[in-house]
Structure 1
Amino acid sequence: MSKIFIIGLPRTGTTSISVALLGCGFKVAHTAFTKQAFVLADVISDAPCFSDYPQLDALFPDSKFVYLQRDLTKWIPSMQRLLSKMAPHLLPKTGHFSPVLKRSFAQTFATEDPQLLTESHLTACYLRHEQQVEAYFTGRQDLLTIDISEKNSLQALMLFLGLTSDKQAQFPHLNKGTQVANWKAYKHANKINSHSAGPDHRQFFDY
């Protein structure tokens, strides 16, 4: 069962691309924390895709992957705002976020590091993730790398997915500034609940 995985880090446009793909008729989960959410969705973005793409690649053969880039001078302050809000809920024992989400962020951002919000720490996290993605997909044709702020990036995505698009169309610009939860407010019949329950209830993959 092939999927489309958006493996860019948070604040690189994962919400914008998720909304754009909803408009193309895909069933989309922006974050997915159960097996069933992955089964139901055609497209899964954000956590834990950005940390678990090798495991998901093995579980869902013939899938396509989209890596999102963003100018570090814009990404870092945006990520600092996000992590400032999320940090208390990412704590291993007392944080109320999904264990899958906490693990994904801890693996990628070392969330217990006292330097978490510093420019140097976040820069290192971003560059390490980018290098790991590039190394993993070397020689393969199933990864597209785009910056959604660039002209024709939406057209590049549509071409990669075998779809047609308006030559003037652009990605919606969501979660601007301090906004971090526009996905929840966005209404669409094809949105998939991140905590969807199925035959295994709300269990995650055992990998």
Structure 2
Amino acid sequence: MPDNANNSTASAHAQCSANAQHIGNADYAANTQHTGHSQIATPAEMNPANSNTLSSEQASVEKQKVFIIGLPRTGTTSVSVALLEQGLKVAHMAFTKQAFMLADAISDVPCFSDYRQLDGLFPQAKFVYLERDMVKWVPSMQMLLGKMLPHLEAKSGRFHPIMKRSFRHTFAIDKVAAPADEAHLIDCYQRHQNEVLAYFQGREDFISLDISHAGSLSRLLQFLGLTTDCPTLGQVTDRALSASQVKSAPNQLLQEGISQAKGNIQPQSVNTSEHGLDFPKLNAGTHVAAWHEYKHPNKVNSNSAGPQSRKFFDYTL
């Protein structure tokens, strides 16, 4: 059983399930056979696009997709986890067509770099841009790049080619001597923000959020037409508690056992004050792996294989 199977009552599960149904809940079997009950087309049923760039890739989609197009270190993990708790199927990064087909919401790579192409492929989608105070974002992004840059190198880097492409496109890591330079990162952030806001100007399928602001989760759920009745929202950081976090507890707690350590490390619960729901605080500080450590049955594998194996969409930036 999933480790969160007993975290809510049957009625709450029914409400969260209803939330997922509102967005759409297309379940593909392992053999990817189309049953006729899904609201989303299989790759063979996709309609040709008017754009030569998109070719035959445009999806004939009735169900709503949600794309989180904020840059890394703006809260993409926190948003992804919150949407999982609402019953949505979520991919934090997606490198295959099938991952996009299976997920209701996709965040991070390649969404922040490919939002224009995804807008053409999924005309019913909603887009969520994430802002963050530059004073906090720059050092956080510098920390992330310090860990990632060796693996983003074009030939020898071990990261997925789609991830490398997204970072090259947005952060010009292959064109500047110091990709983590403060001035360079500020320029990248501002350019990306200006382009996003200009592209979606006046559109009702777009929202911009700062997840540190009070009630920001309530704003997102209202934008998506979802309820806020899932009690598991306040427990997300508890399930994301990792072994590395437990090891960071005082030695006396470790001697008392892992379960005792977990009991003494207080998760940061979701705020349900009069201002509305706030997002769980995940991947704080130098922590970058909370998504991998978080256990939930609705997580979608970034490398999911489908009818065309692990092929990606045929478009260029």
Question: Normalised by the size of structure 1, how large is the TM-score?
Answer: 0.98
Query: RMSD in angstroms over aligned alpha carbons?
Result: 0.9
Where does residue 129 of structure 1 map in the other structure? 192
Where does residue 14 of structure 1 map in the other structure? 76
Q: Confirm or deny that 1:155 pairs with 2:218.
A: yes
Question: What is the rounded CA distance, in whole Å, between the counterparts of 2:309 and 2:76 in structure 1?
Answer: 26
SS in 2 for 1:67: strand
Question: What is the rounded CA distance, in whole Å, between the counterparts of 1:121 and 1:63 in structure 2?
Answer: 31
Which residue, out of 23, 37, 43, partners 2:99?
A: 37
Greater gyration radius = 2
Question: What is the rounded CA distance, in whole Å, between the counterparts of 1:8 and 1:136 in structure 2?
Answer: 14
Where does residue 136 of structure 2 map in the other structure? 74
Question: What is the rounded CA distance, in whole Å, between the counterparts of 1:80 and 1:196 in structure 2?
Answer: 30
Which residue, out of 84, 109, 115, partners 1:47?
A: 109
Question: What is the rounded CA distance, in whole Å, between the counterparts of 2:156 and 2:215 in structure 1?
Answer: 44
Letter in 2 for 1:68: L
Consecutive unaligned residues of structure 2, counting only runs of 5 or more, are 1-60, 230-271
Which residue, out of 151, 156, 171, partners 1:109?
A: 171
Post-superposition offset of 1:165: 2.1
SS in 2 for 1:139: coil
Structure with the bigger RCO (C-alpha within 8 Å, sep 6+) is 1
Post-superposition offset of 1:173: 0.3
SS in 1 for 2:129: strand
Letter in 1 for 2:116: P
Where does residue 65 of structure 2 map in the other structure? 3
SS in 1 for 2:109: coil
Question: What is the rounded CA distance, in whole Å, between the counterparts of 2:88 and 2:202 in structure 1?
Answer: 28
Where does residue 62 of structure 1 map in the other structure? 124
Q: Deviations over 1:25-82 (max 9, x none)?
A: 0000000000000000000000100000000000011100000000000000000000
Q: Percent identity?
A: 63
Question: What is the rounded CA distance, in whole Å, between the counterparts of 1:114 and 1:122 in structure 2?
Answer: 13
Letter in 2 for 1:23: E
Alignment length (residue pairs): 207
Consecutive unaligned residues of structure 1, counting only runs of 5 or more, are none
Post-superposition offset of 1:164: 2.2
Where does residue 52 of structure 2 map in the other structure? none
Structure 1 residue runs of 4 or more that deviate by more than 6 Å after TM superposition: none
Where does residue 171 of structure 1 map in the other structure? 279
Question: Normalised by the size of structure 2, how large is the TM-score?
Answer: 0.64
Letter in 2 for 1:57: D
Letter in 1 for 2:76: T
Q: Confirm or deny that 1:204 pairs with 2:312.
A: yes
Where does residue 20 of structure 2 map in the other structure? none
